[in-house]
């Protein structure tokens, strides 16, 4: 039997790599969601990471594990925002160049954040395939080291540290809700759960307009959507990864989808009830609970994946 792409040992090793550099984010209990769900509900607040999103875990772990000669030439990635921020931040920590290929439609706050961290932004069309192809072209021409946003073992292992922290901090948790784009965070948490507490129910949440994991589960493998639309700009990948899917499929209990209206309601609730600034992609797990798309079994953790959002958009959503 072949070794999985990522194991619990890989995640524990990643935890040692990122310790003291990234944040061990808190679990914040949410009385409003607890009352609605009938069980204790806490938020895993990844918007409190140094770059405002969980992506910093995988990016820093992966850059640290690159061969030094490859890393010294600089790194490149393709991202709609938060992974680009994370790679720029991690590259700045080790003093190497970072090139981020982003869609022209990327939120300005994320573009500005990449540049502020020293990342070089290259714009392409709106499709994720456009970003990937352009990054591969630049990578080959300039000899940079490629760091994909989710389909990479060191990235997945880094994201999995979020799951280990949840299980260590709240060992009585019975349900964990996780947002899914390409599946790096979900895959990492699935590996952590399978290795530490396999009885925990893992529920994936994705936008109705970008239901790529739903499609993959129906097809029995990654399936590419024709298009993806949602206010949750960080979850608009057209397919889950070929590496992430085999780690996800045997572990998750269900996949649910939420509408943009439900996501907006969740952004407002998080601001009103807890004073949190959460981007739409980070609010999908709250949306699933608020819209009763998920019936939790026992104590529940909803992963809040990020908080990077333009001020105008945030003000409009919470007004």
Mean pLDDT throughout 1-19? Answer: 93
Report all structural domains of the chain as residue ranges with CATH numbers, in order of start: 8-54+152-318 (3.40.50.1100), 55-146 (3.40.50.1100)
pTM of the predicted model as reported, rounded to 2 decimal places: 0.97
Q: Is the model's pLDDT at 128 over the cut of 80?
A: no
User: What pLDDT, on the 0 to 100 scale, is given for residue 130?
Assistant: 87
Mean pLDDT throughout 164-181? Answer: 98
Predicted confidence (pLDDT) per residue in 237-289, tens digit = 999 999 999 999 999 999 999 999 999 999 999 999 999 999 999 999 999 99
Instruction: Kindly indicate the confidence band of residue 3, based on its pLDDT and cuts at 50, 70 and 90.
Output: confident
Q: In what order do the strands lie in the sheet with 175-179?
A: 27-29, 41-45, 300-304, 175-179, 201-207, 254-258
* Residues contacting 290, CB < 8 A, separation 6+: 33, 36, 262, 265, 266, 269
Do 185 and 158 contact (CB within 8 A), yes or no?
Answer: no
User: What pLDDT, on the 0 to 100 scale, is given for residue 1?
Assistant: 61
Lowest-confidence range among 68-72, 164-168, 183-187, 289-293? 68-72
Predicted confidence (pLDDT) per residue in 302-315, tens digit = 999 999 999 999 99
Do 286 and 33 contact (CB within 8 A), yes or no?
Answer: yes
């Amino acid at each position: 039997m072949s070794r999985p792409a990522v194991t619990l040992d890989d995640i524990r090793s990643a935890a040692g790599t990122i310790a003291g550099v990234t944040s061990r984010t808190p679990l914040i209990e949410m009385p409003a969601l607890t009352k609605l769900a009938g069980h204790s509900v806490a938020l895993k607040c990844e918007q409190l990471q140094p770059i405002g999103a969980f992506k910093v875990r995988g990016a820093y772990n992966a850059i640290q594990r690159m061969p030094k000669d490859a890393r010294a030439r600089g790194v490149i990635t393709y991202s709609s925002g938060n992974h680009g921020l994370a790679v720029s931040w991690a590259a700045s920590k080790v003093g190497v160049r970072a090139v981020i290929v982003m869609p022209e439609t990327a939120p300005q706050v994320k573009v500005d954040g990449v540049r502020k961290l020293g990342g070089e932004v290259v714009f392409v069309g709106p499709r994720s395939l456009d970003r990937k192809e352009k990054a591969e072209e630049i990578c080959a021409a300039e000899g940079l080291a490629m760091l994909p946003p989710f389909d990479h073992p060191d990235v997945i292992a880094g994201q999995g540290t979020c799951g280990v922290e949840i299980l260590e901090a709240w060992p009585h948790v019975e349900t964990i809700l996780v947002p899914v784009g390409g599946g790096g965070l979900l895959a990492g948490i699935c590996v952590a759960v399978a290795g530490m507490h396999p009885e925990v129910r893992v529920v994936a949440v994705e936008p109705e307009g970008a239901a790529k994991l739903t499609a993959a589960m129906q097809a029995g493998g990654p399936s590419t959507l024709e298009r993806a639309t949602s206010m949750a700009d960080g979850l608009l990948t057209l397919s889950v990864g070929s590496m992430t899917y085999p780690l996800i499929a045997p572990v998750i209990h269900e996949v649910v989808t939420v509408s943009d209206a439900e996501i907006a309601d969740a952004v407002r609730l998080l601001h009103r009830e807890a004073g949190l600034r959460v981007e739409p992609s980070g609010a999908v797990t709250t949306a699933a609970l608020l819209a009763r798309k998920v019936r939790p079994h026992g104590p529940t953790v909803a992963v809040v994946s990020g908080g990077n959002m333009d001020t105008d958009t945030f003000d409009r959503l919470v007004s």
